[in-house]
Amino acid sequence: MQGEKTMISRFPGLPALLLAAGLAMPAASQAGEASPITTELSYVAESARVVGGGLQKGTTNHAAGTLDVTLDGEALGWWPGGMVFIEFIVDHGPDPSRHAGDIQALSNIADGNRTRLQQFWIEQRLGDAASILLGTHDLNSEFYVSDYAGLFTNSSFGIGPEISSVGASLWPEAGLAARLLVQPHEHVSLRLAGYDGDPATRQLKGAEGYLGIFEAALEYDTAAFKLGAWKHSRYAAADGSQGIAGGYGLADIQLADWDEGNLGVFFQYGAVQSKKANDIRSYLGLGLHVGGLIPGRPDDEFGLAMARASLADAYRQANGALANETAVELTYRIALGEHLALQPAFQWIQHPSGDPNLSSARVLLLRGEFSL
């Protein structure tokens, strides 16, 4: 019993999320695989310890849970070609970057304490090759996504910090949006979307502006290439003007495969108008991904990657930063059956927040995942 109390005190959102999942799942499971309502539950708990360098040594325990509910409008008899998606999130625990002092956010799940309706949108298919979406939507659920980079724990591998720092509609604060998807070919997709300029308010105000984004993707079974461009209309730029624009490109390429595994690499690059940037002017990510590295364990994943944030001139002048921040991550995700996984990781962060007087932060992480 003492162990149960310790787990709940460290990760207090877990009981509430499990209760919500328990209430939602019966409706989804009664009809089996053909159910018009599907639910997905995920809970990720992580312990991160800065063992040297950075601002100070220290340990943080934090977690993030999500409950996704998808409703098939046509199967439910509501309207043809429609779908409704609802996502609840629970976050708790401090951010380990308070010890490391980094600007890129070494953990992609740490964000303090909050319970929130993160996404609530309606999608309507337009024939077989297009759809529109309206509602509260996470930009990174469709834009700037690398499958290989998704393994890693550092936030920059999920989406470049040059765009995440300008007030984009991202986890854990998604905003109102409208998105158009067109697929003119089975391997080609075009996405165009507009997002509320300040997703935290969830109100469409002229003073907040908007973030518009476009992405073109070419995707095959063994490779994916994506190019994107975006603009935030009311960003308070470093040169005193309003608005900032940027672009990005990424690639996932499988180099080899064998009976139970594969070897792949990924590349990410993003940049903004350098004179307007307040924090980060460009980002470069490179990485290696191996699935099934150990014989007999096809679902395990190994990765080694580098994320480099080039700091803006305005940030350097304001903070006395003379260097760029580079994070290197080594990780191995161990699949423990269908619903559990354990993922140890190590990060080495050079020049945290660009401060040349800080020694490189060395961080050990242990992440546990539960999903249904």
Tell me whether residue 49 is in a domain. Answer: yes
Its domain, for residue 160, covers 2-25+38-371
pLDDT at 12: 53
**Is 31 contained in some domain?**
no
- Let me know if residue 237 belongs to a domain: yes
Q: What CATH number corresponds to the domain at position 275?
A: 2.40.160.180
Is residue 365 included in any domain, yes or no?
yes
Q: What is the mean pLDDT of each run of 10 residues along the chain (372 residues)?
A: 44 53 49 78 98 98 98 94 97 96 97 92 97 98 99 98 95 95 98 95 86 98 98 93 96 97 98 93 99 96 99 90 94 98 99 94 99 94
Going by C-alpha positions, the residue among 203, 215, 84, 206 that lies closest to residue 139 is 215
Note whether residue 115 is domain-resident.
yes
Whether residue 107 is contained in a domain is answered as yes
Element (H, E) at 27: helix 13-29
Q: What angle do CA 94, 147, 28 make, to 5 degrees?
A: 75
Residue 199 falls inside a structural domain: yes
Q: Identify the CA nearest to 245 among candidates 202, 206, 208, 214.
A: 214
Name the domain count of the chain.
Answer: 1
Q: Is residue 65 part of a domain?
A: yes
Task: Note the pLDDT of residue 310.
Answer: 97
Beta carbons within 8 Å of 28's beta carbon, 6+ residues apart: 35, 37, 38, 39, 69
Q: What distance in Å separates the CA atoms of residue 218 and residue 286, rounded to the nearest whole number? A: 19
pTM: 0.90
